[in-house]
């Protein structure tokens, strides 16, 4: 997923609790679903960032190279300005883009 194009807010916003629990009926289940998705997003973003920063990796760093690498600093700043993974996951939840299943409920229905 391209997180740069996410419509998620950059700052924390107040959420409607009724809308958040409409799908599950339980705020705790909703929090678990969103937190697991947030962890997935965080891992993906971290891998993407590390992949981009590997291009600048040099194994014989000296003090001058550390301060001169402006491109690496710009990439890091860009990722810092992106919405946090939790906010992206909450936005996905509100837009019904998260697929989840509860094995306990599936076993009860059988």
Residue 69 has pLDDT above 70, yes or no: yes
Element holding 60 (H helix, E strand): none
Indicate the pTM of the whole model: 0.77
Residue 79's Cβ-count burial label (10 Å; 0-12, 13-18, 19+) is middle
- Give CA–CA dist 40/47, Å, rounded: 11
Residue 107 has pLDDT above 70, yes or no: no
């Amino acid at each position: 997923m391209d997180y740069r194009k996410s419509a998620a807010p950059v700052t924390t916003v107040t959420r409607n609790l009724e809308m958040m629990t409409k799908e599950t009926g339980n705020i705790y289940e909703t929090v678990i679903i969103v937190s697991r998705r947030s962890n997935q997003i965080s891992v993906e973003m971290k891998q993407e960032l590390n992949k981009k920063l590997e291009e600048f990796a040099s194994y014989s760093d000296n003090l001058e190279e550390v301060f001169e690498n402006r491109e690496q600093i710009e990439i890091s700043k860009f990722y810092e300005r992106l919405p946090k993974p939790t906010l992206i996951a909450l936005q996905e939840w509100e837009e019904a883009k998260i697929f989840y299943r509860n094995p306990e409920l599936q076993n009860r229905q059988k």
